[in-house]
Amino acid sequence: MADSPPVIIVGGGPAGMVAGLLLARAGVPVTVLEKHADFLRDFRGDTVHPSTLELFNEIGLLDELLKEPHAAIDTMTLNLLGGQYTIATMKHLPVAARFVAMMPQWDLLDFIAGQGRRYPTFDLRMSTEATGLTYNAAGRVSGVTLAGGETLSARLVIAADGRRSVLRDAAELPLEDLGAPMDVLWFRVPVPAGMDMSEVALGTIDRRGMVVAIPRGDYWQCAQVIEKGGFAAIEAKGIAAFRDNIVGLVPGLGAGIDAIASFDDVKLLTVALDRLTRWSRPGLLAIGDAAHAMSPVGGVGINLAVQDAVAAANILAAPLAAGADPDPLLTKVQERRWKPTTRMQALQRFAHRNIIEPMLRGEITRVPLAVRLLDRIPLLRRIPGRILGLGFGRQHVQSPLAKEFP
């Protein structure tokens, strides 16, 4: 195996970085390719759920991870039609960290990169963009092509390059589009001196729209849910109208809203909800958003992606370390992750139809019965808390640790 090419992982997001760490930890030579020079992108999610935190606990890294800047949220509240409702709690979960860590994703990814570099078989190449695939004479994927024309040989290619995956298209993997009714606008609002960040709810919904405000110390990272394809109409009304709409929804943001000077300060995230019906072909496996783009509903995308990475490492790491052919095992990753993925997407589609679409049409006139029951009966809050916190088909780290590595 010493002379064989590495496993190449394309994409330095949560799925790619965790897969790279776990494979390197097992002694498998792995190269992670990230097309950007750093991990600093505001549109990346912040919600690291208890299921993901527990995975770091299983490999002895939770305490170190929680030294990174984060806010801990164990109870979910929602401002809905002017009232505040408590809808979920995670205080009862059977894990070490019973909360969602609101952690900027660049800090999470930098942390994983630092841990990966402890292993001599881990190679992270920033500013390296994969543009396509290479094949051997039998039609098996044998490597990747890079921007500029270079090619890299691979023992296995893992496509973790996100919801607009170049590699899944190049591999002609079949994609099922489930549709999404909304897009998201991301923007920052600074916290005025002396203001308590808790004065602004994490989520606000009324007949005029929906805004999420994620606390990040001295500013809120905000997301406004808008109608699919509706950004041009919002731009046409001007930045002042945009600011007024945000403050109308969330008055607590008013003191800092003028920091949004123009639409250059607003970033559009085009929402997709889709999945590959086949995640692999000989020489290639897709995981994370490349295999199934998730809606922002519930903030579960990071956690689904990480669970994919753990499943892939559990199935592939030991055979790869032993020099075995990975191809017969690739379909087992999809088999293990298919039901958890489709169940979560079904819940997201339910939320689209029953919450997001009526909200976008301005048709929310009363608080749903389910929300009222969750608010009134604390025991019921454990159900959504468990679904959001642990998801479905939770994985545990079973990939080996090569003893000669630290």
C-alpha span between 194 and 182 (Å, rounded) = 35
Mean pLDDT of 359-374: 87
pLDDT digits 0-9 by tens, 277-331: 999 999 999 999 999 999 988 888 899 999 999 999 999 999 999 999 999 999 9
Output the CA–CA distances (angstroms, integers) from residue 191 to 154, 188, 200, 258, in the order listed: 47, 10, 10, 12
Beta strands in 270-331 (DSSP E): 274-276, 280-281, 284-286
Interaxial angle between packed helices 301-321 and 14-25, expressed in degrees from 0 to 180 and rounded to the nearest 10? 30
Total-model pTM: 0.92
Mean pLDDT of 334-349: 96
pLDDT for the residue numbered 194: 75
Q: Has residue 237 got a pLDDT over 90?
A: yes
Average pLDDT of the chain, as a whole number? 91
SS3 content of the chain, % helix, strand, coil (to 5): 40, 25, 40
Residue 185 tokens, joined = 């606008």
Q: Has residue 406 got a pLDDT over 70?
A: no
Question: Alpha helix locations (H) across 102-230?
Answer: 105-116, 166-170
C-alpha span between 20 and 17 (Å, rounded) = 5
**DSSP per-residue codes, 77-99:** EEEETTEEEEEEE-TT-SSS--S
Which residues, 6 or more positions from 383, have their beta carbon under 8 angstroms from its beta carbon?
none
In degrees rounded to 5, what are phi and psi of residue 288? Answer: 65, -150
Lowest mean pLDDT among 2-6, 56-60, 235-239, 331-335: 2-6
pLDDT for the residue numbered 43: 54
Which residues, 6 or more positions from 13, have their beta carbon under 8 angstroms from its beta carbon?
44, 105, 109, 160, 162, 288, 289, 305
Q: Has residue 2 got a pLDDT over 60?
A: no
For residue 147, the one-letter residue type is A
Tokens 């195996």 correspond to what residue?
1
pLDDT digits 0-9 by tens, 248-276: 998 889 988 999 999 999 999 889 999 99
pLDDT for the residue numbered 42: 53
Q: Is residue 243 within 8 Å of residue 255, measured between CB atoms? A: no
pLDDT digits 0-9 by tens, 40-92: 765 556 789 999 999 999 999 999 999 998 888 899 888 888 888 999 999 99
pLDDT for the residue numbered 261: 94
C-alpha span between 347 and 349 (Å, rounded) = 5
Interaxial angle between packed helices 301-321 and 330-351, expressed in degrees from 0 to 180 and rounded to the nearest 10? 180
Mean pLDDT of 383-402: 93
pLDDT digits 0-9 by tens, 95-144: 999 999 988 888 999 999 999 999 999 999 999 999 999 999 999 999 99
- Specify the DSSP element, H or E, that contains 210: strand 209-215
Residue 252 tokens, joined = 């607590």
Angle at 165 between CA 164 and CA 166, to 5 degrees: 115
C-alpha span between 269 and 225 (Å, rounded) = 10
Residues written for the chain: 406
Beta strands in 277-387 (DSSP E): 280-281, 284-286
C-alpha span between 115 and 261 (Å, rounded) = 39
Domain 7-73+83-177+272-353+367-390 has CATH 3.10.450.50: no
- For residue 317, the SS3 value is helix
pLDDT for the residue numbered 44: 58
Output the CA–CA distances (angstroms, integers) from residue 36 to 41, 357, 389, in the order listed: 10, 34, 30
Output the CA–CA distances (angstroms, integers) from residue 298 to 57, 77, 212, 271, 348, in the order listed: 23, 12, 11, 14, 8
pLDDT digits 0-9 by tens, 180-234: 999 999 999 998 877 776 778 788 888 778 998 887 778 888 999 999 999 999 9
Which residues, 6 or more positions from 18, have their beta carbon under 8 angstroms from its beta carbon?
55, 112, 305, 306, 309, 310, 313
First to last CA, the chain: 21
Mean pLDDT of 236-241: 95
User: CA 301: distance to chain centroid?
Assistant: 3
Q: Has residue 247 got a pLDDT over 70?
A: yes
pLDDT for the residue numbered 185: 94
